[in-house]
Amino acid sequence: MRARVLTLAVLSLFAGSRSNHAQTAANSSEISSHDATTTFSTRVNLVMVPVVVRDRQGHAIGNLRQEDFQLFDKGKPQTISKFSVEKSTDRAKALVISSTENGSAAPAGNPATMPSRFVAYIFDDVHLEFGDLAQARDAAVKHLEELQPTDRAAIYTTSGQNMLDFTDDLAKIRETLMRMQPRGKAMPAGTDCPDVTYYMADLIQNKNDRQALAVAEQDAIICADIMVTQGPGGGGQDAAMRQAEPLARSAASRVLSLGENDSKLALSVLKDVIRRMSAAPGQRSIVLVSPGFYLTNDYRPDEIDVMDRAIRANVTISTLDARGLYVSMPGGDISAPPSNAATAVERDLYRRQSDLAGADTLGELADGTGGTFFHNNNDLKLGFQLLAAPPEFVYLLGFSPQNLKLDGSFHALKVTLKSSAGLTSQARRGYYAPKHAIDPAEQAKEEIREAVFSREEMSDIPLDVETQFFKSSDVSARLAVVAKVDVRRLHFQKADGRNNDTLMVVSGVFDRNGNLINAIEKRVEMRLRDETLEKRVGSGIALKTNFDVTPGSYVIRVVIRDQEGQLMAARNGVIEIP
Protein backbone atom coordinates (compact mmCIF):
# COMPACT_ATOMS: atom_id res chain seq x y z
CA MET A 1 0.00 0.00 0.00
CA ARG A 2 1.48 3.36 -1.00
CA ALA A 3 1.05 6.17 1.46
CA ARG A 4 -0.99 9.25 0.64
CA VAL A 5 0.51 12.58 1.65
CA LEU A 6 -1.97 14.82 3.44
CA THR A 7 -1.62 18.42 2.28
CA LEU A 8 -1.22 19.65 5.82
CA ALA A 9 1.74 21.69 7.08
CA VAL A 10 1.20 23.01 10.58
CA LEU A 11 3.65 25.79 11.43
CA SER A 12 4.00 26.51 15.14
CA LEU A 13 6.25 28.46 17.50
CA PHE A 14 7.83 26.31 20.17
CA ALA A 15 9.63 28.90 22.27
CA GLY A 16 8.61 30.29 25.66
CA SER A 17 5.05 30.91 26.74
CA ARG A 18 1.87 30.75 24.74
CA SER A 19 0.86 33.71 22.58
CA ASN A 20 -2.50 35.29 22.97
CA HIS A 21 -4.92 35.54 20.09
CA ALA A 22 -3.76 39.00 19.01
CA GLN A 23 -0.09 38.00 19.00
CA THR A 24 -0.88 34.86 17.05
CA ALA A 25 -2.72 36.88 14.44
CA ALA A 26 0.22 39.26 14.15
CA ASN A 27 2.75 36.47 13.83
CA SER A 28 0.68 34.61 11.27
CA SER A 29 1.24 37.45 8.83
CA GLU A 30 4.97 37.16 9.41
CA ILE A 31 5.24 33.43 8.68
CA SER A 32 3.44 31.54 5.96
CA SER A 33 3.78 28.07 4.48
CA HIS A 34 2.64 26.82 1.10
CA ASP A 35 3.60 24.58 -1.78
CA ALA A 36 5.78 26.35 -4.32
CA THR A 37 8.48 25.82 -6.91
CA THR A 38 12.03 26.19 -5.66
CA THR A 39 13.88 29.28 -6.92
CA PHE A 40 17.21 29.10 -5.09
CA SER A 41 20.19 30.45 -6.94
CA THR A 42 23.17 28.15 -7.37
CA ARG A 43 26.59 28.01 -8.90
CA VAL A 44 26.34 26.87 -12.52
CA ASN A 45 28.81 24.91 -14.63
CA LEU A 46 30.30 23.16 -11.61
CA VAL A 47 32.11 20.08 -12.91
CA MET A 48 32.50 17.25 -10.41
CA VAL A 49 35.44 14.84 -10.80
CA PRO A 50 35.47 11.63 -8.72
CA VAL A 51 38.99 10.39 -7.96
CA VAL A 52 40.08 7.10 -6.37
CA VAL A 53 43.65 6.90 -5.05
CA ARG A 54 45.17 3.51 -4.21
CA ASP A 55 48.38 2.40 -2.55
CA ARG A 56 50.78 -0.30 -3.76
CA GLN A 57 48.50 -3.02 -2.36
CA GLY A 58 45.52 -1.66 -4.31
CA HIS A 59 43.71 -0.31 -1.23
CA ALA A 60 41.86 2.98 -1.56
CA ILE A 61 43.26 5.66 0.76
CA GLY A 62 41.37 8.59 2.25
CA ASN A 63 43.95 10.78 4.02
CA LEU A 64 44.78 13.18 1.19
CA ARG A 65 43.88 16.87 1.25
CA GLN A 66 42.74 19.33 -1.40
CA GLU A 67 46.24 20.73 -1.85
CA ASP A 68 47.55 17.26 -2.74
CA PHE A 69 45.66 17.31 -6.06
CA GLN A 70 46.19 19.13 -9.34
CA LEU A 71 43.38 19.32 -11.88
CA PHE A 72 43.76 20.20 -15.56
CA ASP A 73 41.08 21.00 -18.14
CA LYS A 74 42.42 20.71 -21.70
CA GLY A 75 45.90 20.98 -20.20
CA LYS A 76 45.13 24.20 -18.29
CA PRO A 77 45.36 24.10 -14.46
CA GLN A 78 42.06 24.67 -12.66
CA THR A 79 41.19 25.96 -9.20
CA ILE A 80 39.54 23.24 -7.11
CA SER A 81 36.62 25.08 -5.51
CA LYS A 82 34.89 22.08 -3.94
CA PHE A 83 36.56 19.18 -2.20
CA SER A 84 35.22 16.31 -0.15
CA VAL A 85 36.11 12.75 0.78
CA GLU A 86 33.30 10.22 0.67
CA LYS A 87 33.66 7.10 2.77
CA SER A 88 31.46 4.28 1.54
CA THR A 89 30.44 3.18 5.04
CA ASP A 90 29.17 6.67 5.88
CA ARG A 91 26.34 6.31 3.37
CA ALA A 92 25.07 3.25 5.21
CA LYS A 93 24.43 5.01 8.52
CA ALA A 94 20.87 5.05 9.79
CA LEU A 95 19.89 6.96 12.91
CA VAL A 96 16.96 6.10 15.15
CA ILE A 97 14.83 9.19 15.62
CA SER A 98 12.61 9.71 18.60
CA SER A 99 9.05 8.56 18.19
CA THR A 100 5.82 8.60 20.16
CA GLU A 101 2.63 6.61 19.78
CA ASN A 102 -0.56 8.37 20.84
CA GLY A 103 1.50 10.62 23.11
CA SER A 104 3.57 7.81 24.67
CA ALA A 105 7.05 6.55 23.86
CA ALA A 106 7.01 3.99 21.04
CA PRO A 107 9.42 1.17 20.21
CA ALA A 108 12.50 2.41 18.39
CA GLY A 109 13.38 1.15 14.96
CA ASN A 110 16.34 -1.18 14.59
CA PRO A 111 18.93 0.25 12.15
CA ALA A 112 20.58 -3.16 11.86
CA THR A 113 17.53 -4.53 10.04
CA MET A 114 17.10 -1.61 7.65
CA PRO A 115 18.70 -1.69 4.16
CA SER A 116 22.00 0.15 3.96
CA ARG A 117 23.45 -1.09 0.66
CA PHE A 118 21.70 -1.18 -2.71
CA VAL A 119 23.34 -2.91 -5.68
CA ALA A 120 21.76 -2.93 -9.13
CA TYR A 121 23.10 -5.64 -11.45
CA ILE A 122 22.64 -4.67 -15.10
CA PHE A 123 23.19 -7.52 -17.56
CA ASP A 124 23.88 -6.34 -21.09
CA ASP A 125 21.86 -9.12 -22.71
CA VAL A 126 21.76 -7.12 -25.96
CA HIS A 127 25.52 -7.48 -26.52
CA LEU A 128 26.36 -10.64 -24.53
CA GLU A 129 26.80 -14.00 -26.25
CA PHE A 130 25.08 -17.00 -24.68
CA GLY A 131 28.26 -18.61 -23.28
CA ASP A 132 29.48 -15.41 -21.63
CA LEU A 133 26.02 -14.59 -20.28
CA ALA A 134 25.62 -18.09 -18.81
CA GLN A 135 28.97 -17.93 -17.02
CA ALA A 136 28.25 -14.45 -15.65
CA ARG A 137 24.76 -15.51 -14.56
CA ASP A 138 26.07 -18.57 -12.68
CA ALA A 139 28.76 -16.49 -10.96
CA ALA A 140 26.16 -13.90 -9.97
CA VAL A 141 23.93 -16.58 -8.43
CA LYS A 142 26.80 -17.82 -6.25
CA HIS A 143 27.74 -14.27 -5.29
CA LEU A 144 24.21 -13.24 -4.36
CA GLU A 145 23.77 -16.27 -2.11
CA GLU A 146 25.96 -14.27 0.30
CA LEU A 147 23.50 -11.36 0.40
CA GLN A 148 23.50 -9.72 3.84
CA PRO A 149 20.32 -8.74 5.79
CA THR A 150 21.03 -5.06 5.13
CA ASP A 151 21.66 -5.59 1.37
CA ARG A 152 19.13 -5.15 -1.41
CA ALA A 153 19.75 -6.36 -4.95
CA ALA A 154 17.96 -5.58 -8.22
CA ILE A 155 18.32 -7.27 -11.61
CA TYR A 156 18.06 -5.20 -14.80
CA THR A 157 18.78 -5.94 -18.46
CA THR A 158 19.59 -3.64 -21.34
CA SER A 159 16.81 -5.28 -23.37
CA GLY A 160 14.27 -4.32 -20.69
CA GLN A 161 13.11 -7.93 -20.35
CA ASN A 162 13.25 -10.20 -17.30
CA MET A 163 13.92 -7.65 -14.54
CA LEU A 164 13.46 -7.52 -10.77
CA ASP A 165 13.28 -4.46 -8.51
CA PHE A 166 15.25 -4.20 -5.24
CA THR A 167 14.59 -7.09 -2.91
CA ASP A 168 16.25 -9.40 -0.40
CA ASP A 169 14.29 -12.42 -1.65
CA LEU A 170 17.03 -14.78 -2.83
CA ALA A 171 14.58 -17.18 -4.48
CA LYS A 172 13.19 -14.42 -6.71
CA ILE A 173 16.70 -13.19 -7.54
CA ARG A 174 17.84 -16.69 -8.51
CA GLU A 175 14.71 -17.31 -10.59
CA THR A 176 15.15 -14.01 -12.45
CA LEU A 177 18.80 -14.72 -13.21
CA MET A 178 18.15 -18.24 -14.48
CA ARG A 179 15.57 -16.96 -16.98
CA MET A 180 18.11 -14.65 -18.56
CA GLN A 181 19.14 -15.17 -22.19
CA PRO A 182 20.72 -13.14 -25.01
CA ARG A 183 18.34 -10.69 -26.67
CA GLY A 184 20.55 -9.04 -29.28
CA LYS A 185 21.77 -9.90 -32.73
CA ALA A 186 18.64 -8.76 -34.58
CA MET A 187 20.71 -9.41 -37.69
CA PRO A 188 22.78 -12.56 -36.95
CA ALA A 189 26.21 -12.98 -38.45
CA GLY A 190 26.08 -14.34 -41.97
CA THR A 191 22.69 -12.91 -42.93
CA ASP A 192 23.92 -9.69 -44.51
CA CYS A 193 26.15 -9.14 -47.49
CA PRO A 194 28.78 -8.00 -46.84
CA ASP A 195 29.12 -8.74 -43.10
CA VAL A 196 30.04 -5.30 -41.69
CA THR A 197 30.66 -4.70 -37.98
CA TYR A 198 29.24 -1.70 -36.13
CA TYR A 199 32.76 -0.28 -35.79
CA MET A 200 33.35 -0.53 -39.55
CA ALA A 201 29.90 0.90 -40.29
CA ASP A 202 30.79 3.98 -38.21
CA LEU A 203 34.05 4.38 -40.16
CA ILE A 204 32.23 4.08 -43.47
CA GLN A 205 29.13 6.16 -42.82
CA ASN A 206 30.26 8.78 -40.28
CA LYS A 207 34.00 9.11 -40.91
CA ASN A 208 34.14 8.47 -44.66
CA ASP A 209 36.97 5.99 -44.23
CA ARG A 210 37.88 4.82 -47.74
CA GLN A 211 39.95 1.86 -46.50
CA ALA A 212 37.06 0.46 -44.46
CA LEU A 213 34.78 0.92 -47.46
CA ALA A 214 37.23 -0.88 -49.73
CA VAL A 215 37.38 -3.86 -47.32
CA ALA A 216 33.58 -4.06 -47.32
CA GLU A 217 33.47 -3.78 -51.12
CA GLN A 218 35.94 -6.62 -51.57
CA ASP A 219 33.94 -8.82 -49.19
CA ALA A 220 30.76 -7.94 -51.10
CA ILE A 221 32.37 -9.21 -54.28
CA ILE A 222 32.78 -12.61 -52.60
CA CYS A 223 29.42 -12.91 -50.82
CA ALA A 224 27.39 -11.49 -53.74
CA ASP A 225 29.35 -13.55 -56.27
CA ILE A 226 30.17 -10.51 -58.40
CA MET A 227 32.12 -11.47 -61.47
CA VAL A 228 35.50 -9.84 -61.97
CA THR A 229 35.71 -9.73 -65.75
CA GLN A 230 39.16 -9.18 -67.18
CA GLY A 231 40.17 -8.30 -70.70
CA PRO A 232 38.92 -5.65 -73.14
CA GLY A 233 35.59 -4.14 -72.00
CA GLY A 234 35.49 -6.17 -68.80
CA GLY A 235 36.53 -3.47 -66.39
CA GLY A 236 38.31 -5.89 -64.09
CA GLN A 237 38.58 -5.31 -60.33
CA ASP A 238 37.67 -1.60 -60.49
CA ALA A 239 34.34 -2.31 -62.17
CA ALA A 240 33.55 -5.04 -59.65
CA MET A 241 34.35 -2.64 -56.79
CA ARG A 242 32.01 -0.02 -58.24
CA GLN A 243 29.29 -2.64 -58.48
CA ALA A 244 29.92 -3.71 -54.87
CA GLU A 245 29.94 -0.18 -53.39
CA PRO A 246 26.12 0.18 -53.08
CA LEU A 247 25.98 -3.20 -51.31
CA ALA A 248 28.73 -2.16 -48.89
CA ARG A 249 27.16 1.22 -48.10
CA SER A 250 23.70 -0.27 -47.71
CA ALA A 251 24.99 -2.91 -45.27
CA ALA A 252 26.91 -0.24 -43.32
CA SER A 253 23.77 1.90 -43.06
CA ARG A 254 21.70 -1.00 -41.71
CA VAL A 255 24.34 -2.09 -39.21
CA LEU A 256 24.93 1.49 -38.04
CA SER A 257 21.23 1.96 -37.36
CA LEU A 258 21.03 -1.29 -35.38
CA GLY A 259 24.22 -0.54 -33.46
CA GLU A 260 23.11 2.96 -32.54
CA ASN A 261 19.79 1.60 -31.32
CA ASP A 262 21.61 -0.93 -29.09
CA SER A 263 23.91 1.79 -27.70
CA LYS A 264 20.97 4.09 -27.04
CA LEU A 265 19.19 1.24 -25.26
CA ALA A 266 22.16 0.50 -22.98
CA LEU A 267 22.65 4.15 -22.03
CA SER A 268 18.93 4.75 -21.44
CA VAL A 269 18.76 1.73 -19.11
CA LEU A 270 21.73 3.09 -17.16
CA LYS A 271 19.99 6.46 -16.81
CA ASP A 272 16.75 4.81 -15.68
CA VAL A 273 18.53 2.68 -13.09
CA ILE A 274 20.43 5.72 -11.75
CA ARG A 275 17.14 7.59 -11.46
CA ARG A 276 15.62 4.64 -9.62
CA MET A 277 18.62 4.31 -7.32
CA SER A 278 18.59 8.00 -6.40
CA ALA A 279 15.67 7.10 -4.11
CA ALA A 280 17.64 4.39 -2.29
CA PRO A 281 18.52 5.61 1.22
CA GLY A 282 21.97 4.08 1.54
CA GLN A 283 25.12 3.01 -0.29
CA ARG A 284 24.35 2.82 -4.03
CA SER A 285 26.26 0.78 -6.59
CA ILE A 286 25.66 -0.40 -10.13
CA VAL A 287 27.46 -3.45 -11.52
CA LEU A 288 27.27 -3.44 -15.32
CA VAL A 289 27.93 -6.91 -16.77
CA SER A 290 28.85 -6.59 -20.44
CA PRO A 291 31.37 -7.56 -23.11
CA GLY A 292 31.71 -3.84 -23.77
CA PHE A 293 29.92 -1.83 -26.41
CA TYR A 294 31.14 0.66 -28.96
CA LEU A 295 29.88 4.24 -28.93
CA THR A 296 29.97 6.56 -31.93
CA ASN A 297 30.80 10.24 -31.40
CA ASP A 298 27.09 11.08 -31.51
CA TYR A 299 26.52 9.12 -28.28
CA ARG A 300 29.55 10.32 -26.32
CA PRO A 301 27.58 13.23 -24.76
CA ASP A 302 24.97 10.73 -23.59
CA GLU A 303 27.73 8.68 -21.93
CA ILE A 304 28.97 11.82 -20.12
CA ASP A 305 25.39 12.56 -19.09
CA VAL A 306 25.17 9.08 -17.52
CA MET A 307 28.32 9.83 -15.50
CA ASP A 308 27.03 13.25 -14.41
CA ARG A 309 23.74 11.74 -13.26
CA ALA A 310 25.55 9.02 -11.33
CA ILE A 311 27.87 11.52 -9.62
CA ARG A 312 24.98 13.78 -8.59
CA ALA A 313 23.00 10.80 -7.27
CA ASN A 314 25.99 9.31 -5.38
CA VAL A 315 25.81 6.17 -7.51
CA THR A 316 29.02 4.28 -8.27
CA ILE A 317 29.15 2.41 -11.58
CA SER A 318 31.50 -0.57 -11.66
CA THR A 319 31.87 -2.71 -14.75
CA LEU A 320 32.62 -6.39 -15.35
CA ASP A 321 33.86 -7.68 -18.69
CA ALA A 322 31.90 -10.93 -18.90
CA ARG A 323 34.28 -12.34 -21.52
CA GLY A 324 36.88 -12.93 -18.80
CA LEU A 325 40.42 -13.43 -20.07
CA TYR A 326 39.62 -12.54 -23.67
CA VAL A 327 41.69 -12.99 -26.82
CA SER A 328 40.47 -11.79 -30.21
CA MET A 329 40.71 -14.79 -32.54
CA PRO A 330 42.16 -14.23 -36.03
CA GLY A 331 39.46 -14.64 -38.63
CA GLY A 332 36.68 -13.68 -36.23
CA ASP A 333 33.42 -15.54 -35.69
CA ILE A 334 33.28 -18.96 -37.35
CA SER A 335 29.65 -18.26 -38.25
CA ALA A 336 30.59 -15.23 -40.33
CA PRO A 337 30.19 -15.54 -44.12
CA PRO A 338 33.22 -16.06 -46.36
CA SER A 339 35.35 -12.98 -46.86
CA ASN A 340 38.12 -11.99 -49.20
CA ALA A 341 41.44 -13.47 -48.04
CA ALA A 342 43.12 -10.24 -49.10
CA THR A 343 41.16 -8.30 -46.46
CA ALA A 344 41.76 -10.70 -43.56
CA VAL A 345 44.48 -8.57 -41.97
CA GLU A 346 42.39 -5.39 -42.14
CA ARG A 347 39.27 -7.10 -40.80
CA ASP A 348 41.19 -8.53 -37.84
CA LEU A 349 42.60 -5.07 -37.14
CA TYR A 350 39.12 -3.52 -37.15
CA ARG A 351 37.84 -6.33 -34.92
CA ARG A 352 40.59 -5.73 -32.35
CA GLN A 353 40.02 -1.97 -32.46
CA SER A 354 36.29 -2.53 -31.96
CA ASP A 355 36.93 -4.82 -28.96
CA LEU A 356 39.30 -2.29 -27.41
CA ALA A 357 36.86 0.59 -27.96
CA GLY A 358 33.99 -1.42 -26.41
CA ALA A 359 36.08 -2.31 -23.36
CA ASP A 360 37.17 1.31 -23.11
CA THR A 361 33.54 2.33 -22.68
CA LEU A 362 33.34 0.10 -19.61
CA GLY A 363 36.56 1.63 -18.27
CA GLU A 364 35.29 5.17 -18.84
CA LEU A 365 32.04 4.54 -16.97
CA ALA A 366 33.95 3.11 -13.99
CA ASP A 367 36.64 5.80 -13.91
CA GLY A 368 34.08 8.56 -14.35
CA THR A 369 32.03 7.58 -11.29
CA GLY A 370 34.63 6.26 -8.86
CA GLY A 371 33.96 2.62 -9.67
CA THR A 372 36.16 -0.31 -10.68
CA PHE A 373 36.64 -2.07 -14.03
CA PHE A 374 37.11 -5.84 -13.63
CA HIS A 375 38.51 -7.43 -16.80
CA ASN A 376 40.96 -10.00 -18.17
CA ASN A 377 40.07 -12.37 -15.34
CA ASN A 378 37.99 -15.54 -15.50
CA ASP A 379 37.08 -15.54 -11.79
CA LEU A 380 33.78 -13.74 -12.33
CA LYS A 381 32.51 -14.55 -8.82
CA LEU A 382 35.50 -12.68 -7.41
CA GLY A 383 34.68 -9.86 -9.80
CA PHE A 384 31.13 -9.60 -8.48
CA GLN A 385 32.39 -9.56 -4.90
CA LEU A 386 34.88 -6.78 -5.60
CA LEU A 387 32.48 -4.64 -7.60
CA ALA A 388 29.42 -4.88 -5.36
CA ALA A 389 31.25 -2.84 -2.71
CA PRO A 390 32.50 0.53 -4.04
CA PRO A 391 35.97 1.82 -3.11
CA GLU A 392 36.15 2.74 0.57
CA PHE A 393 37.24 6.30 -0.22
CA VAL A 394 36.30 8.49 -3.19
CA TYR A 395 37.50 12.09 -3.49
CA LEU A 396 35.16 14.56 -5.16
CA LEU A 397 36.91 17.50 -6.81
CA GLY A 398 34.74 20.31 -8.12
CA PHE A 399 35.74 23.23 -10.32
CA SER A 400 34.01 25.94 -12.34
CA PRO A 401 35.57 26.29 -15.81
CA GLN A 402 36.46 29.88 -16.60
CA ASN A 403 35.22 31.44 -19.85
CA LEU A 404 33.51 28.19 -20.78
CA LYS A 405 32.21 28.30 -24.33
CA LEU A 406 28.71 26.87 -24.79
CA ASP A 407 29.73 24.91 -27.88
CA GLY A 408 29.25 21.28 -26.80
CA SER A 409 32.96 20.54 -27.24
CA PHE A 410 34.81 17.79 -25.36
CA HIS A 411 37.12 18.81 -22.53
CA ALA A 412 39.79 16.28 -21.57
CA LEU A 413 40.49 16.18 -17.82
CA LYS A 414 43.65 15.12 -16.04
CA VAL A 415 44.16 14.72 -12.30
CA THR A 416 47.64 14.38 -10.84
CA LEU A 417 49.04 14.03 -7.32
CA LYS A 418 51.76 16.43 -6.19
CA SER A 419 53.42 13.54 -4.39
CA SER A 420 52.57 10.25 -6.07
CA ALA A 421 55.23 7.95 -4.62
CA GLY A 422 53.69 4.49 -4.44
CA LEU A 423 50.21 5.79 -5.31
CA THR A 424 48.02 5.35 -8.37
CA SER A 425 44.86 7.25 -9.19
CA GLN A 426 41.86 6.88 -11.46
CA ALA A 427 39.66 9.83 -12.35
CA ARG A 428 37.03 11.04 -14.73
CA ARG A 429 38.52 11.44 -18.20
CA GLY A 430 36.51 14.39 -19.48
CA TYR A 431 33.20 16.17 -19.98
CA TYR A 432 31.27 17.98 -22.71
CA ALA A 433 30.61 21.69 -22.48
CA PRO A 434 26.89 22.56 -22.43
CA LYS A 435 25.32 23.92 -25.57
CA HIS A 436 23.17 26.43 -23.69
CA ALA A 437 23.16 28.22 -20.35
CA ILE A 438 21.92 26.29 -17.32
CA ASP A 439 18.80 27.63 -15.61
CA PRO A 440 19.87 28.37 -11.99
CA ALA A 441 16.35 27.75 -10.66
CA GLU A 442 16.13 24.35 -12.30
CA GLN A 443 19.65 23.48 -11.18
CA ALA A 444 18.87 24.38 -7.57
CA LYS A 445 15.62 22.43 -7.68
CA GLU A 446 17.63 19.40 -8.83
CA GLU A 447 20.13 19.90 -5.99
CA ILE A 448 17.36 19.78 -3.39
CA ARG A 449 15.89 16.67 -4.97
CA GLU A 450 19.31 15.01 -4.89
CA ALA A 451 19.73 15.96 -1.22
CA VAL A 452 16.44 14.24 -0.39
CA PHE A 453 17.63 11.01 -2.00
CA SER A 454 21.05 11.18 -0.38
CA ARG A 455 21.96 9.84 3.07
CA GLU A 456 24.46 12.60 3.83
CA GLU A 457 23.90 14.38 7.13
CA MET A 458 24.16 18.19 6.81
CA SER A 459 24.08 20.58 9.75
CA ASP A 460 24.47 24.15 8.45
CA ILE A 461 21.14 24.80 10.20
CA PRO A 462 20.33 23.14 13.56
CA LEU A 463 17.59 20.62 12.83
CA ASP A 464 15.79 18.08 14.99
CA VAL A 465 13.35 15.52 13.66
CA GLU A 466 10.70 13.68 15.64
CA THR A 467 7.95 11.32 14.58
CA GLN A 468 4.53 10.53 15.97
CA PHE A 469 2.14 7.86 14.83
CA PHE A 470 -1.41 6.85 15.57
CA LYS A 471 -2.70 3.37 14.69
CA SER A 472 -6.34 3.48 13.70
CA SER A 473 -6.36 -0.30 13.07
CA ASP A 474 -4.02 -3.25 12.70
CA VAL A 475 -3.45 -2.40 9.04
CA SER A 476 -3.34 1.40 8.97
CA ALA A 477 -1.54 4.19 10.76
CA ARG A 478 -0.94 7.91 10.46
CA LEU A 479 2.69 8.98 10.61
CA ALA A 480 3.59 12.57 11.49
CA VAL A 481 7.08 13.86 10.73
CA VAL A 482 7.94 16.96 12.76
CA ALA A 483 10.92 19.07 11.69
CA LYS A 484 12.16 21.60 14.28
CA VAL A 485 14.39 24.34 12.90
CA ASP A 486 16.48 26.81 14.91
CA VAL A 487 16.18 30.01 12.87
CA ARG A 488 18.85 31.92 14.76
CA ARG A 489 21.50 30.54 12.41
CA LEU A 490 19.72 31.77 9.30
CA HIS A 491 20.96 34.73 7.26
CA PHE A 492 18.00 37.09 7.16
CA GLN A 493 17.83 39.98 4.74
CA LYS A 494 16.64 43.21 6.34
CA ALA A 495 14.09 45.18 4.30
CA ASP A 496 11.22 47.51 5.31
CA GLY A 497 11.75 46.78 8.97
CA ARG A 498 11.39 43.02 8.49
CA ASN A 499 13.82 40.12 8.61
CA ASN A 500 13.23 38.16 5.41
CA ASP A 501 14.15 34.63 4.45
CA THR A 502 12.54 31.64 2.79
CA LEU A 503 12.93 28.03 3.83
CA MET A 504 12.32 25.04 1.61
CA VAL A 505 11.44 21.98 3.70
CA VAL A 506 11.12 18.52 2.15
CA SER A 507 10.05 15.46 4.13
CA GLY A 508 10.29 12.00 2.57
CA VAL A 509 9.32 8.49 3.69
CA PHE A 510 11.01 5.35 2.26
CA ASP A 511 10.05 1.73 2.80
CA ARG A 512 12.40 -1.01 3.99
CA ASN A 513 13.55 -1.73 0.43
CA GLY A 514 14.46 1.89 -0.19
CA ASN A 515 11.43 2.71 -2.34
CA LEU A 516 10.21 6.27 -1.97
CA ILE A 517 6.66 6.10 -0.64
CA ASN A 518 6.05 9.81 -0.86
CA ALA A 519 7.52 13.22 -0.15
CA ILE A 520 6.11 16.68 0.34
CA GLU A 521 7.83 19.99 -0.27
CA LYS A 522 6.85 23.14 1.60
CA ARG A 523 7.94 26.73 1.10
CA VAL A 524 8.08 28.69 4.37
CA GLU A 525 8.24 32.46 3.90
CA MET A 526 9.37 34.50 6.91
CA ARG A 527 8.91 38.27 7.15
CA LEU A 528 9.71 38.74 10.83
CA ARG A 529 9.71 41.90 12.94
CA ASP A 530 12.74 42.36 15.15
CA GLU A 531 10.78 41.65 18.34
CA THR A 532 9.33 38.48 16.87
CA LEU A 533 12.75 37.22 15.83
CA GLU A 534 14.26 37.98 19.24
CA LYS A 535 11.45 36.92 21.54
CA ARG A 536 9.01 34.62 19.83
CA VAL A 537 11.03 32.63 17.32
CA GLY A 538 14.33 32.54 19.15
CA SER A 539 14.11 28.79 19.66
CA GLY A 540 12.79 27.92 16.24
CA ILE A 541 9.78 26.80 14.27
CA ALA A 542 8.19 23.42 13.79
CA LEU A 543 6.69 21.90 10.66
CA LYS A 544 4.50 18.81 10.78
CA THR A 545 3.68 16.68 7.75
CA ASN A 546 1.31 13.71 7.92
CA PHE A 547 1.45 10.47 5.96
CA ASP A 548 -0.98 7.54 5.87
CA VAL A 549 1.03 4.31 6.05
CA THR A 550 0.73 0.67 7.02
CA PRO A 551 2.60 -0.80 10.01
CA GLY A 552 6.21 -1.58 9.15
CA SER A 553 9.76 -0.22 9.02
CA TYR A 554 10.43 3.13 7.39
CA VAL A 555 13.34 5.45 6.66
CA ILE A 556 12.63 9.15 7.23
CA ARG A 557 14.54 11.90 5.42
CA VAL A 558 14.12 15.64 6.06
CA VAL A 559 16.02 18.29 4.06
CA ILE A 560 15.92 22.06 4.67
CA ARG A 561 17.53 24.89 2.74
CA ASP A 562 17.26 28.64 3.16
CA GLN A 563 17.24 31.09 0.30
CA GLU A 564 19.32 33.96 1.64
CA GLY A 565 22.29 32.09 3.07
CA GLN A 566 21.88 28.95 0.95
CA LEU A 567 22.52 26.86 4.05
CA MET A 568 21.32 23.27 4.18
CA ALA A 569 20.42 20.77 6.87
CA ALA A 570 19.45 17.13 6.52
CA ARG A 571 18.53 14.37 8.94
CA ASN A 572 17.58 10.78 8.35
CA GLY A 573 16.57 7.93 10.59
CA VAL A 574 14.41 4.86 10.91
CA ILE A 575 11.09 4.23 12.60
CA GLU A 576 9.25 1.00 13.35
CA ILE A 577 5.44 1.03 13.51
CA PRO A 578 4.45 -2.29 15.11
**pLDDT tens profile 412-464:** 999 999 988 889 999 999 998 888 776 666 666 777 777 777 666 778 888 88
Percent of the chain exceeding pLDDT 90 equals 44
Helix (H, G, I), strand (E, B) or coil at 483: strand
Residue 10 is predicted with a pLDDT of: 31
User: What's the chain's average pLDDT?
Assistant: 82
pLDDT surpassing 80 at residue 21: no
pLDDT surpassing 90 at residue 175: yes
pLDDT surpassing 50 at residue 293: yes
Rounded CA-CA distance 178/204 in Å is 39
Question: What do you get for the CA distance between the two ends of the chain, in Å?
Answer: 16
CA distances from 239 to 228, 230, 341 (A): 8, 10, 19
Q: Mean pLDDT across the stretch 24-28?
A: 45
Q: What angle is formed at CA 262 by the lines to CA 132 and CA 191, rounded to 5 degrees?
A: 75
Neighbours of 559 (CB within 10 A): 27
Residue 34 is predicted with a pLDDT of: 60
Q: Are 137 and 157 in contact (CB under 8 A)?
A: no
Which residues, including other chains, have CB under 8 Å from residue 86's CB and lie 6 or more apart? 314, 393, 394, 395, 396
Higher pLDDT, 141 or 574: 141
Residue 576 is predicted with a pLDDT of: 85
Percent of the chain exceeding pLDDT 70 equals 79
Q: Mean pLDDT across the stretch 25-38?
A: 55
Predicted confidence band of residue 3 (pLDDT cuts 50, 70, 90): very low
Pairing state between β 47-54 and 424-427:
antiparallel
Using a cut of 0.85, tell me whether the model's pTM lies above it.
no
Domains defined for the chain, CATH in brackets: 4-42+440-577 (2.60.40.150), 47-88+393-432 (no CATH), 114-187+256-388 (3.40.50.410), 200-253 (no CATH)
Q: Are 410 and 430 in contact (CB under 8 A)?
A: yes
Q: Is the peptide bond before 194 cis (omega within 30 degrees of 0)?
A: yes
Q: What is the dihedral of CA 256, 257, 259, 262, to 10 degrees?
A: 170
Q: Are 62 and 393 in contact (CB under 8 A)?
A: yes
Residue 77 is predicted with a pLDDT of: 95
pLDDT digits (tens, 9 = 90+) for 464-523: 888 889 988 889 999 999 998 888 788 888 888 898 888 888 998 988 777 788 888 888
Helix (H, G, I), strand (E, B) or coil at 319: strand
Neighbours of 208 (CB within 10 A): 9
Least confident of 220-229, 239-248, 530-539: 530-539
Residue 90 is predicted with a pLDDT of: 60
Identify the H or E element spanning 193: none
